[in-house]
Amino acid sequence: MTFSFAHNNFNVRDLDKSLAFYKEALGLTEVRRKQAPDGSFVLVFLGDGGSTAHQLELTWLRDWDRPYNLGDNEFHLAFTADDMDAAHAHHEKMGCICFENPKMGIYFISDPDGYWVEIVPAKR
């Protein structure tokens, strides 16, 4: 028996704002969408353009009326960057860098809902 990653989920309060962030920050684009017939939720799956099959699912819930409790925010996604300097400059310009660890050569960005995304150099 084998298992493969399919997707991770982040619940978001403003779907359009989150879609714009992930497009600008990481180049993720919509792969597919599922909407509840009654409008109570929307699921949007984002992909990286084919580099991997893994997807990020953004879930919007119509009746959710408060920020999500992210606890201590110790969970996160990680993305590799083939050009860390350019990636860092881009994210710095966006104003979304929330933590840097220069000794490890990594940093984190924060999305509109406060989820952290780690940026690591691609292995060579």
Length of the chain: 124
Structure tokens at 41: 């939720």
List the beta bridge partners of residue 12: 60
CA 82, CA 79: separation in Å to the nearest integer?
10
List the beta bridge partners of residue 98: none
CB of 119 closer than 8 Å to CB of 79: yes
* Nearest C-alpha neighbor of 73 from the set 113, 33, 124: 113
Active site residues: 118
